[in-house]
């Protein structure tokens, strides 16, 4: 499992960013519950893939409903397509401050985490 380092997007933009190859055992990246971090996944393969963000909380209490299961977040990414996933609420951030990501396939799949700056 590789740990991705989020790049901060600034008003002047970002220089060219090198994406990391997705790893078969999954990846992780730091995030906070302020919901400013997201993941960009590029699928360079000829087949669709599924990217899954693993829930780190089993259940969440919802007023009027009681405890409900927190599902994993799954996104299908078309062949030669890409997707932005996130931002991620606290239920998807582990005690270590990391979001855990898994992939159905990793051949020619690249990823990069991004963080939006705090508003002044």
31-90 pLDDT, tens per residue?
A: 988 889 999 999 999 999 999 999 999 999 999 999 999 999 999 999 999 999 999 999
Q: Which residue, chain included where needed, has tokens 């939006």?
A: 116
Q: How many Å apart are CA 34 and CA 60, to the nearest integer?
A: 18
The tokens describing 102, both together, are 């898994």
Mean pLDDT of 4-29: 91
Sorting pLDDT into bands at 50, 70 and 90, what band is 10?
A: confident
Per-domain residue ranges of the chain: 2-10+19-115
Q: What torsion, rounded to 10 degrees, do the Cα atoms 83, 40, 106, 77 define?
A: 0
The answer to whether the beta carbons of residues 111 and 4 sit under 8 Å apart is: yes
First to last CA, the chain: 35
Counting residues of the chain whose pLDDT is more than 70, the rounded percentage is 99
The answer to whether the beta carbons of residues 84 and 43 sit under 8 Å apart is: no
Q: What residues pair up with 41 in beta bridges, in sequence order?
A: 83, 111
> What's the DSSP call for residue 91?
G
Sorting pLDDT into bands at 50, 70 and 90, what band is 4?
A: very high
């Amino acid at each position: 499992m590789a740990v991705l380092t989020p790049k901060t997007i600034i008003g002047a933009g970002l220089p060219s960013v090198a994406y990391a190859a997705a790893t078969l055992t999954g990846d992780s990246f730091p995030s906070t519950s302020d919901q400013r971090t997201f993941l960009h996944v590029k699928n360079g393969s000829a087949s669709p893939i599924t990217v899954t963000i693993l829930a780190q909380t089993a259940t969440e209490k919802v007023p009027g409903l009681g405890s409900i299961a927190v599902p994993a977040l799954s996104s299908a990414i078309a062949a030669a397509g890409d997707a932005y996933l996130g931002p991620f609420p606290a239920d998807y951030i582990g005690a270590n401050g990391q979001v855990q990501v898994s992939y159905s396939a990793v051949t020619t799949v690249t990823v990069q985490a991004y963080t939006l700056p705090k508003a002044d």
